Structure 1
Amino acid sequence: MKIYLLTHPRELPKPTNTGKLVTEVLGASVRLVEWSRIGPDAELLQLAEQGALALIYPGEGSTELSAALADAGLSGRLKGLVVLDGTWQEARKMFNKSPYLQKLPRIALEVSEASRYSLRRNQKAEGLCTAECVAYVLQTLGRGAEAKRLSHRLEAFIEAYAHRK
């Protein structure tokens, strides 16, 4: 299953962006797509119309990832998962201004550990950064080796960034 990182344009140049770690570690099994309100990505639109995508986005109407994968009807047609890459405010904006995202099945992650990512202010206590989110998804999909590589890369990134300050 492919991971689609739908990245807010302001997120791309930020030195604290962890989406770039995901693309670095996962290579061709992830696709970074720059979000556009007026020009949505054609591949994402097509997959959304086919019912082949789900959105990692918590809240009302979302299903926990394990339950969604156990649902043969949903998991049988899924070709990809969309992860919104940006601040919580940017992610909310992308969701609210993209009708095709609002129509996707929503998946929530029920993680028991707090985020290790501390490079930004105003983080949600229960929130994960993009790389943590993708690592959790990979682990749940049975891709433990990739999840572990991504987690180690994130730890090194956080440590290196902290030493630069």
Structure 2
Amino acid sequence: MTPRAVCSRCRRAQSVCYCHKISQLPTKTKVVILQHPRERDKAIGTARMASLCLPDSELHVGVRWGEHAALARALSDETRPAGLLFPGPGAKNILAERPPGPITLVVVDGTWSQAKTVVRDNPILQSLPRYAFATPEPSQYRIRKEPNDQFVSTIEALMHVLGVLEGDPAGFRALLDPFRAMVDMQLHCQATRPQRRFRQERGPRPERPRLPTALTSRFEDLVCVVGEANAWPYKKDANHEPDELVHWVAVRVATGERFEHVAAPQNRLSPNTAFHARLDEATLAAAGSRAALFDAFAAFTRPSDIIAAWGHYGPNLYRECGGTLEPHIDLRALCQRLVNKKFGSLEDAAASVGSPREPLGMGRGGVRLSALVQLVEHWRATYPR
């Protein structure tokens, strides 16, 4: 089959290209769009469309923004103070309370869940003044379902906000021209797509997912890790200190060798840390330094070890707090690929394969590490190698 010709500008198939509808709209407002990686290749996304219409805008892709040089430069522009377009406590209605001068407007592009997670996990975004608005008209995003009538696409949000900030609501409705064209073309394609009248014969069943080498030929090198943090509530205090590692547990699954180290918090202790980590304040206060934790874990690991964790939070926290850690395997992503259905939390996933086991360390970290090992052993016994 011949590949479809693709427009290099909008990155859509040329048969549904919307570039002829794009208008250039210069702005005094500096627009910085932070796109979640899962939205980058969505053909019906609007972040790229908006960046093509706004010549002075910036579009960046990622989920961690604490050390992003381009974002830091944009936020340091004193002539255009930065603000985050995202609802939350203290957010000003930007349509009713227009800033007195030009601003740098940071917009997070993604599903509501993705955007909420990006803001929650990035103190640099939480520290920005917030703007929000109640949409004055229903969304025209007829090809994508929003969880709430007040939610609109990125380009629709920019149309409403820039219309007010630039003092030209009618002019910035031109942002919707390529948006409407894309929606109309998508609906036309769906309506004219040939319908199958006959049931298609199924081929052979696909082979069950195979396990990665870390769980098969290199099982001796597999080290599962769990990290617990001193973390402040994200919604209540936008100026809190960044999350810091206070508990690190690990096990070399093949041999049962274990590692555990508690590090005393260097910042104020969050009121929820002892509860969530299940470590009392006295234990945390009497613990050693984080540098000692890093040195001890470096001595525990071997050059050939493969680090595995549930998601990315723990390993990323370890690195962000100053530790050196090789790239890790995401066991949560592996679980999704193997079971191909919703499984909930790590504890829920482990409970679906057997009764809870004895913790492999103190507090919640020991419980979660035990759950990780339970899943790994279940997968090795169930899936082809």
**Which deviates further from its counterpart, 61-70 or 101-110?**
61-70
The higher-RCO structure (CA 8 Å, 6+ apart) is: 1
Q: Deviations over 1:72-124 (max 9, x none)?
A: 4xx4xx54101111110110011011110000000011222111112223532
Distance in 2 between residues matched to 1:97 and 1:81, nearest whole Å: 19
Q: Deviations over 1:13-63 (max 9, x none)?
A: 00110112101222x221101123166421322443567210000122100
Aligned to 1:125: 149
C-alpha RMSD over aligned residues:
2.1
Q: Is the 8 A contact 1:57 1:108 kept in 2?
A: yes
Aligned to 2:184: 159
Q: Is the 8 A contact 2:64 2:118 kept in 1?
A: yes
- One of 39, 43, 64 as aligned partner of 1:37: 64
- One of 45, 60, 63 as aligned partner of 1:17: 45
**How high is the sequence identity, in percent, across the aligned residues?**
30
* Change over 3 Å in CA distance of 1:107–1:118 after alignment to 2: same
Q: 5+ residue gaps in structure 1?
A: none
TM-score calculated relative to the size of structure 2: 0.39
Q: Give the SS at the match of 2:39.
A: coil
TM-score calculated relative to the size of structure 1: 0.85
- One of 101, 114, 117 as aligned partner of 2:125: 101
Q: Is the 8 A contact 2:66 2:123 kept in 1?
A: no
Aligned to 2:89: 60
| Larger Rg over CA atoms | 2
Report the CA distance between 1:145 and its aligned residue. Answer: 5.7
Q: 5+ residue gaps in structure 2?
A: 1-28, 191-385
**Which deviates further from its counterpart, 142-151 or 121-130?**
142-151
- One of 130, 146, 149 as aligned partner of 2:174: 149
Q: Is the 8 A contact 1:68 1:107 kept in 2?
A: no
Distance in 1 between residues matched to 2:168 and 2:123, nearest whole Å: 31
Q: Is the 8 A contact 1:53 1:81 kept in 2?
A: yes
**Which deviates further from its counterpart, 33-42 or 93-102?**
33-42
Aligned to 2:313: none
Q: Is the 8 A contact 1:7 1:34 kept in 2?
A: yes
Distance in 1 between residues matched to 2:39 and 2:67, nearest whole Å: 17
* Change over 3 Å in CA distance of 1:120–1:86 after alignment to 2: same
Q: Is the 8 A contact 2:64 2:122 kept in 1?
A: yes
- Give aligned pairs, total: 159
Report the CA distance between 1:147 and its aligned residue. Answer: 1.4
